Amino acid sequence: MADNVNSQITDAVTQTNVKVVAEAPAQAIAALYQVASHASGLSIQNAVHSQQAMNQITTAVVSKACQLIMDIGE
């Protein structure tokens, strides 16, 4: 059956297969970098959110402490 197929067609298919196989590692690394960057960005967002939440708690604690200090004289 291979004798009935034009050699230019088999060469084109072979070159396409080689191209796909050659590009696969680069695409895999690119996908890995993208996933790693996304995970890093999410961790930074979580850290910022935690810091903002801690700042809100700290403000409430300082306000309550100031109120307790001012109530000592009464």
Domain boundaries, the chain: 8-73
d(CA 60, CA 55): 9
Amino acid (one-letter) located at 47: A
Using the structure block, give the residue that is written with the tokens 């197929």.
5
pTM: 0.58
Q: What is the pLDDT of residues 23-69, one digit of tens each?
A: 889 999 999 999 999 999 999 999 999 999 999 999 999 999 999 99
* Contact indicator for 10, 2 with CB cutoff of 8 Å: yes
Query: CA 65, 67, 72 angle in degrees (round to 5)?
Result: 95
Give ∠ CA 41-42-47 in degrees, rounded to 5: 100
